[in-house]
């Protein structure tokens, strides 16, 4: 990524954060919306579900969570990959990593802390009729 594109990405992120803070202070109408790739929302939903359950789940529970949000165990490798892995497996359990927690925090800043409860449900995200590159739009 070249320097100019990186700066534009930072500018967009800051603009989103400022909009979110202004909305929280009541300075803007509550009709601020965000658009996100459905695949990203599905991944964040999986991480959120693990966090809600205390940050650790059994292998069987992980598979159930994946299925709820339109994922399969076969396609879950991205959660475990590389230095930025969001989930790690240890002693038969799956744990949210610090990188996974940081990713969730970034999402909360950008999309609000209640995006999962208010918009995204297993029914909406688990419908495989909509591919991961579909976009969803919601109020923040």
pLDDT digits (tens, 9 = 90+) for 58-74: 999 999 999 988 888 88
Region 15-28: mean pLDDT is 66
Q: Which residues contact 56 (CB under 8 A, 6 or more apart)?
A: 50, 93, 94, 95, 96
Residue 13 binned pLDDT confidence (cut-offs 50, 70, 90): confident
In 1-140, where does DSSP find H-type helix?
3-24, 38-52, 59-68, 77-80, 98-111, 115-118, 122-125
Flag whether pLDDT at 136 surpasses 80: no
Tell me how far apart the alpha carbons of residues 49 and 134 are, in angstroms, rounded to a whole number. 22
d(CA 135, CA 140): 15
Question: Does the pTM of the predicted model rise above 0.75?
Answer: no
Please report, for residues 57, 80, 81, 86, 101, the alpha-carbon distance to residue 90 in angstroms, rounded to integers and kept in the order given: 11, 12, 15, 13, 17
Which domains are seen in the chain, by residue range?
32-139 (1.10.10)
**Mean pLDDT lowest among 34-38, 40-44, 53-57:** 34-38
The reported pLDDT for the residue numbered 135 is 80
Q: Which of 13-22, 23-32, 47-56, 127-136 is predicted most confidently?
A: 47-56
């Amino acid at each position: 990524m070249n320097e100019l594109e990186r700066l534009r990405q930072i500018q967009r992120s800051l603009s989103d954060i400022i909009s979110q803070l202004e909305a929280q202070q009541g300075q803007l109408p509550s009709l601020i919306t965000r658009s996100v790739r459905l695949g990203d929302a599905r991944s964040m939903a999986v991480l959120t579900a693990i966090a809600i359950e205390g940050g650790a789940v059994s292998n069987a529970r992980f598979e159930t969570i994946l299925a709820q949000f339109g994922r399969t165990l076969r396609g879950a490798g991205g959660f475990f990959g590389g230095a930025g892995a969001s989930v790690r497996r240890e002693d038969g359990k799956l744990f949210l990593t610090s990188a996974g927690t940081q990713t969730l925090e970034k999402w909360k800043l950008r999309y609000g802390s209640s995006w999962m409860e208010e918009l995204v449900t297993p029914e909406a995200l688990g419908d495989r009729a909509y591919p991961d590159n579909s976009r969803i739009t919601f109020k923040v």
